[in-house]
Amino acid sequence: MNAAMDRRAAESPMFPRVFRGRLRRAAVPLDAAAFLSVVLVGVLYYLVQAPFVLQPGVRLELPEAAFADGQSYDALVVAVSQEGMVFFNDRRVTLAGLRSEILKALHESPGRPLIVEADRRVPHGTLVNIYNLAMECGAKSVSLATRVAASPEAVAP
């Protein structure tokens, strides 16, 4: 009787036919094209924004030297610009305030070397004053930063 009722219901205009699929489509966990699109937009955003993040700084023209000796990356850095501005670990200080900054840094981690990055047009007397000040504060080594001179073979075409 059930089969007869189902047949009549299926043939009747009042009862629409209901289809029950025996085979169901497997659920796709992730659409690869959409995922790649999101990843591509993220990468493009990063690439476009990266060049516009500028770190403020002072342009220094270091003197050239024929030899190269390295220092460790944890060294303290004093930079002196052509105009006489003094920076200690990327913060602007005065020559008078440099003493307290060096003392504080050497108290936190004694034995760290000090590197003086000075423009080639800075007077020699200023460099000697910074050197003496660092030695008075207890710096174990003070180095002057230079850039390696270009070899003649690399310059000639």
- Two structure tokens written together for 68: 């190269």
* Low-confidence spans in the chain with pLDDT less than 70: 1-30, 51-58, 60, 67-68, 71, 150-157
Contact 105, 76 (CB under 8 A): yes
Domain ranges of the chain: 64-148
Which amino acid appears at position 6 of this protein?
D
Per CATH, which fold does 64-148 belong to?
Answer: Nucleotidyltransferase; domain 5 (3.30.420)
In angstroms, what is the C-alpha Rg of the chain?
36
* Identity of the residue numbered 84: G
Residue 147 has a pLDDT of: 79
Kindly tell me the number of DSSP H helices and DSSP E strands found in the chain: 5, 7
Residue with tokens 């030297």: 65
Contact (CB, 8 A) for 60 and 81? yes
- Residue 119: the pLDDT is 87
Q: Tell me whether strands 64-65 and 147-148 are parallel, antiparallel or unpaired.
A: parallel
Phi, psi of 36 (to 5 degrees): -65, -35
Residue with tokens 């030899």: 67
- pLDDT score at 82: 86
pLDDT tens across 46-81, in order?
A: 888 776 666 566 676 777 777 667 767 778 889 998
Q: What is the pLDDT of residue 17?
A: 64
Q: Give the pLDDT score at 153.
A: 58
Q: How far is CA 68 from CA 71, 114, 151, 154, in A?
A: 10, 16, 13, 17
User: Does the pTM exceed 0.75?
Assistant: no
Please tell me the distance from the alpha carbon of residue 17 to that of residue 113, in angstroms, as a whole number.
87
Cα–Cα dist 72/93, whole Å: 23
